[in-house]
Amino acid sequence: MRLKNKNLEIPHDNIFLNDKLQRINSVKNLTLLLRNVSSPLVFSVNAPWGAGKTTYLKMLHASLIAENSKSIYFSAWETDFAVDPLLAFLGEMNSSLSRFLVGDSKKLKAWRKVKAAGVHIMRRSIPVGVKLATAGLIDADKLVEDEVGKVTESLSKDVIDAYSKNKEAISEFKKNVSEVLRAADGGVEKLYIFVDELDRCRPTYAIELLERVKHLLDIEGLVFVLALDKVQLAHSVKAVYGADFDALGYLRRFIDIEFSLPSTGTEFFINHLFDHFELDEYFGGRTAGETVYDRESLLNSLKVVCSGMSLRSIEQLFSKIKLISLTVANNQYFFPEFMVFLLSVKDNYPKIYSEFSRQEADGKELLSLIDKVFPGGDDQSVWTRQYLEAVIVSGKMRGARSWSENHVMLLKGIVNSNMVAPEKLEHSRRVLELIQNMNRMGGSVPLVELLSRIEMLSNFNFD
């Protein structure tokens, strides 16, 4: 029983095996670009949260390795516990570069010097910070003038000494990184460093990481590929520097080339999730009456509602539907279009959903959302809108009967009128017919039961 979509694996012998969004051509083009571009370079892959950046980055990383390029991948979010992002870089590079440097004593020696210089750079910032913190804890009333002078003099000396030694360490660091990247012919080999989930890091860490990349790792041969949501990262920058700070301008200082991940059709992804969540297996066991059509109805509804949603949001929607399906017996009606509609309304129009869920409330506001959730002029969309109107009116027969009966009378008035457009006449006639069928089958739509399944989801965390 699968309730969550697992992270896609990227087999190195078949990189695009699980490319459910058909991004193979984009990855191949970017692979060629990165192999031919001059270094040093900071390249960003920009897309909103949940758009598939991680999978894309991993395919790009694997594609470069397949071309015999040296490439390292790590998640910034998984390392933002580190005091200094440089520590994370050195750690990831140390574990990855070891296999590239085996048997090359000259490069191994240079790499040891890189690590030593890196540790020195990080250590240099500690004494001053500790003393500043200590000074802040001293009771100002007890500090006599000469003591203040001593603290100031000591701090000034530490700052100057730290700056000079840090400058030397940075020079040593860069020189030896260049030595590690030196090719046999005397040229420079590229090393690609993929940094994922930068926008999920705590703001200070994300900014420090960018600073390290631009000022300390701005070395010929290094190509950084950052996956980020630029809008979200800009919020992190403003959280540190203030709401009026030009965050986007600040980010442009660090990124040389920005690539916006192209949006892709969701149909392939939906079909993949339908299979992954084993929904075919579930619907295959539904053979009673109208339940045999539930699979197709659900799939068609999802393709409409998921249009424009992020991939992560689509996954979460599938998780919810899977949970709901486990509460519906094989001989019970699933009401797939209505369940998808309610889930969408609950997420996007929570106040209207909350009001509708009260048993005595009418369905007028909910009816007004049908066209927004299920737009389109094709036959399937037209039928879905008619069906949803019928379900809402039938479902409210028990809690808001007078409203439902008045709506039925309104529909009958339209059907019996000679003064309305043919499309409106046909719509009203079809909705009336559906309401009558629903009421005959079970007295009315079991709205309370359906809403209880939606409310059950409130007890789960899908983030």
Q: Give burial (CB, 10 Å; 0-12/13-18/19+) of 98.
A: exposed
Output the pLDDT for position 160: 62
Q: What is the pLDDT of residue 134?
A: 36
Beta strands in 233-328 (DSSP E): 257-260
Q: What is the pLDDT at residue 144?
A: 46
Distance, in Å, from the CA atom of 458 to the CA atom of 460, rounded to the nearest integer, reads 5
What pLDDT, on the 0 to 100 scale, is given for residue 11?
87
Q: Which two tokens stand for residue 23?
A: 């991004």
Task: Give the contacts of 426 (CB within 8 A, at least 6 positions apart).
Answer: none
Task: State the amino acid at position 161 in one-letter form.
Answer: D
Quote the crossing angle between the two packed helices 336-348 and 294-305, to the nearest 10°.
30
Run means of pLDDT, 10 residues per run, the chain, 463 residues: 64 87 92 93 89 91 94 89 80 78 83 83 52 38 47 55 70 85 82 90 88 84 92 89 91 92 80 84 76 85 87 89 87 87 94 93 94 89 93 90 94 90 93 89 76 87 71
* pLDDT score at 6: 60
Dmax of the chain from CA atoms?
Answer: 100
Structural domains of the chain, ranges and CATH numbers in brackets: 23-260 (3.40.50.300), 266-458 (no CATH)
Helix then strand count (H, E) for the chain reads 20, 5
Nearest to 50 by CA among 319, 445, 314, 344: 314
Residues 6+ apart with CB under 8 A from 454: 324, 339, 342, 343, 346, 357
pLDDT of residue 100: 75
**Could you say which DSSP state residue 213 is in?**
I
**pLDDT, position 185:** 79
Report the pLDDT value the prediction gives residue 414, as an integer from 0 to 100.
Answer: 93
pTM for the model: 0.71
- State residue 124's pLDDT score: 55
CA distance 37 to 217: 17
